[in-house]
């Protein structure tokens, strides 16, 4: 995310390129390993189940992005960044689309007592909002419906992500002045004691 100052309106505008999650959930017993030393706290929180709802409620419901932008930041741009577009992130002939049916008029409440993670906590505990994924279709099968996860263990497929996505296009044509500025000497001053 980048914050851009609009000089004439004196407003902060939020530009979102994409939204993802580094879901790495730990339960309260595991987190308690760091009770006497914070360096021992396992790093990570939940987020994969909550992401689509939170982005809709926070960004679309508030008018900060459109429904089309929602698809872009939660799907298309992620697939492009990971170099798997249009295999993922598009509904096209030959694409391996995972499709959601999203109800913008439905509501949600996040709770550790109802999420599908094996953690006994949820960093978003108690958050309520508008907009909810009601059905998810993956590989032609309904895997989520009526708040019920219908995934068969072992049914997932590895998706290879080749290196050098679109961000690398033209990197070899970078301005020589820019590249030479990266090698500029760093001037340091000595601290006096």
Digit-coded pLDDT (tens) for 73-84: 999 999 999 999
Residue 12: pLDDT above 50? Answer: no
* Residue 123 counted as domain residue: yes
* Pairing verdict, β 148-149 and 141-145: antiparallel
Average pLDDT, the chain: 84
The count of domains in the chain is: 1
Residue 164: pLDDT above 60? Answer: yes
CB 124 within 8 A of CB 54: yes
Run of H or E including 55: helix 51-55
Return the pLDDT at 186: 63
The residue with greater pLDDT, 58 or 7, is 58
CATH number at residue 73: 3.20.20.140
* Residue 25 counted as domain residue: yes
Return the pLDDT at 33: 93
* Residue 59 counted as domain residue: yes
* Residue 118 counted as domain residue: yes
* Residue 40 counted as domain residue: yes
The residue with greater pLDDT, 21 or 143, is 143
Please return the burial class of 25, using the count of CB atoms within 10 Å of its CB with bins 0-12, 13-18 and 19+: buried
* Residue 46 counted as domain residue: yes
Residue 141: domain span: 2-182
Q: Within 13 Å and on the Cβ side, how many CA atoms surround 53?
A: 21
Residue 183: pLDDT above 90? Answer: no
- Tell which residue, 122, 136, 135, 145, has the closest CA to residue 50: 122
* Residue 190 counted as domain residue: no
Q: What is the mean pLDDT of residues 133-144?
A: 92
* Residue 192 counted as domain residue: no
């Amino acid at each position: 995310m980048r914050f851009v100052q609009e000089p004439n309106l004196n407003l902060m505008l939020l530009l979102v390129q994409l939204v993802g999650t580094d879901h790495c959930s730990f339960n309260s017993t595991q987190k308690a390993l760091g009770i006497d030393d914070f360096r021992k706290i396992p790093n990570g929180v939940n987020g994969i189940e909550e992401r689509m709802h939170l982005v809709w409620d926070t960004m679309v419901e508030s008018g900060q992005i459109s429904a089309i932008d929602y698809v872009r930041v939660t799907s298309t741009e992620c697939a492009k960044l990971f170099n798997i577009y249009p295999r993922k992130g598009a509904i096209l002939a030959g694409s391996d689309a995972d499709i959601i049916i999203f109800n913008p008029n439905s509501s949600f409440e996040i709770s550790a007592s109802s999420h599908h993670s094996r953690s006994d906590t949820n960093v978003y505990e108690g958050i309520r909002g508008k907009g909810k994924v009601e059905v998810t279709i993956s590989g032609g099968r309904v895997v989520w419906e009526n708040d019920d996860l219908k995934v068969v263990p072992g049914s997932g497929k590895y998706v290879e992500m080749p290196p050098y996505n679109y961000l690398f296009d033209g990197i070899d044509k970078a301005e020589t002045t820019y590249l030479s500025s990266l090698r500029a000497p760093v001037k340091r001053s000595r601290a006096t004691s």
